[in-house]
Homo-oligomer: A and B are copies of this chain.
Amino acid sequence: MSEVEKKLKEFAEYLKKINHYTTAGNLMYWDMTTGMPEAMAESRAETLSFFQTEVHSLNVSPKIAEFIEFFESHMGEFDYIHKRMTEQLKKKYENQKRYPEEFIKEFSLAASRGEVAWEKAKNASDFDVFKPALEKIVDLTKKSIEYKGYEDNKYDALLDDYEAGLTVNKLDKVFGELRDGIVEILNKIKVTGKTIDDSFFHNHFPKSEQESLSLKILDLMGFDFKRGRMDETEHPYTLDMTNKDVRITNHYYENDFTSALFSAIHEGGHALYEQDIPDLLEGTGLNVASSMAVHESQSRFYENIIGKSREFSNYLYKEAIKQFNEQFDGVSEEEFYKALNKVTPSLIRTEADELTYSLHIIIRYEIEKLLINDIIEVKDLPKVWNKKYKEYLGVEPTSDKEGVLQDVHWSDGSFGYFPSYALGNLYGAQMLHKMTKDVPGIYEEIGKGNLQPVHKWLKENVHEYANLYDPSNLIKKITGEELQAKYFLQYLDNKYKAIYNY
């Protein structure tokens, strides 16, 4: 074994050690949300915090600096993978090295407590229950920006955590174009004066049957149940320990046919990405997704572009009739499809239609910018939230639960994440454009409930690249073009034109 091989092996072992802590931490988090006895909360938060501190120590240890130095002095002998490995390692090291250990510990403890407080507050529909914990988290987030530094806008520091190199400056432009395009379509729809009936989706759908249907569709998508499972939590999410244990969660509403089903499809999209990460990248640190927005592109691709397509809707219609015959009595295939794609400006992001969804994101993006730049305070959030909903979507929450408390993201300090969802829409539509060129008959297969060609294309063109490329390069590699809003806006226009006949 050469000196380089020896060092690479040593590095792989070191990553394995870090992985022991992260997988254990992830499992503890999963347990905390799926059914941990409540008396354990405080102790669990401490253990999670301890583990995150250990991971941080390992990530910023002199050992890592030593690896980087060695690898950099051998770049000439490295292939692309090991060069990328070295670059990413260095970037992550320098990024983490900024934060004192005490700070990481404090943040992770605040995040664990934040989530507990958020869940209580949401159940009580009372923002004040969450407020003290959130204030702590926001303070620490601002402090993290000081450690990290920024050029133009404080919020840039947060964006960069989820989408390397993205700035408020760039995002304001893309989101501007997106917003104008969406508003234009929304107005065309309004002008038609058409309304779509989706009341049959609000019949009674027993939880256990919703669960079976979700499991069936996940199986269809290619979710590997030997490498994952589905559980129940307050807020659906996907958690990967390794590519061999990827867990999704769901939440059931018995008076809603679509909520759990499309959550399962959404989380399933995330999960396929994680399950498809190639084993051969183990030991390099590159066996992770390219970015959060690319991750969201996968979930939203399945949820909307595939899940709510004409063809898949027809397939779902047959399945729905099979499982819930009475509830869909007298509903036609056409009515089912239109109801799935009904446009209604509404209160809850996760239940928003495909068209208005991005407006929910733009609201959150703007609020986060205001909060982080000290223009508003935590105590102002419910009021600002409600005002923006009225302004952008024409609807106003009557309770905190339906408003500012609906999302988990702030409770664990994930400020800067929300834009990823809308970026995911853009990436997804651009990928679709390429996929339908590569596989011309793909929609026919989707109509038969055969999602294998979709999975195969995504696996080969997105998932298996893992973190071998930055997202901006990945999308260029896949589609030959830079990221742009036009594909998504064209896709939306084509879709809604046919549905609303405008």
Residues of A within 8 A of B (CB): 16-17, 19-20, 23-25, 27-28, 31, 35-40, 43-44, 46-47, 50-51, 224-229, 241-242, 244-247
Our pick among B28, B37, B242 for the contact of A43 (Cβ within 8 Å) is: B242
Our pick among B20, B31, B225 for the contact of A47 (Cβ within 8 Å) is: B20
Closest to A231 in B: B35
B39 and A31 contacting across the interface, CB-CB below 8 Å: no
A242 — which chain B residues lie within 8 A by C-beta? 40, 43
Closest to A50 in B: B20
A19 — which chain B residues lie within 8 A by C-beta? 47
Our pick among B20, B28, B246 for the contact of A46 (Cβ within 8 Å) is: B20
B244 and A17 contacting across the interface, CB-CB below 8 Å: no
Number of copies: 2
A50 and B244 contacting across the interface, CB-CB below 8 Å: no
Our pick among B20, B31, B43 for the contact of A51 (Cβ within 8 Å) is: B20
Chain B nearest Cβ from A270, distance in angstroms: 16
New A-B pairs, 8, CB < 8 Å, besides A16-B46, A17-B50, A19-B47: A20-B47, A24-B28, A27-B27, A27-B31, A39-B224, A40-B241, A43-B242, A44-B245
Tell me the bound Cα distance from A39 to B228 in angstroms: 8
A38 — which chain B residues lie within 8 A by C-beta? 226
A245 — which chain B residues lie within 8 A by C-beta? 36-37, 39-40, 43-44
Chain B nearest Cβ from A224, distance in angstroms: 8
Q: List 28 A-B contacts (CB under 8 A).
A: A16-B46, A19-B47, A20-B46, A20-B50, A20-B51, A24-B24, A24-B25, A24-B51, A27-B27, A27-B28, A36-B245, A37-B225, A37-B226, A37-B227, A37-B228, A37-B229, A37-B244, A37-B245, A37-B246, A37-B247, A38-B226, A39-B227, A39-B245, A40-B227, A40-B241, A40-B242, A40-B244, A43-B241
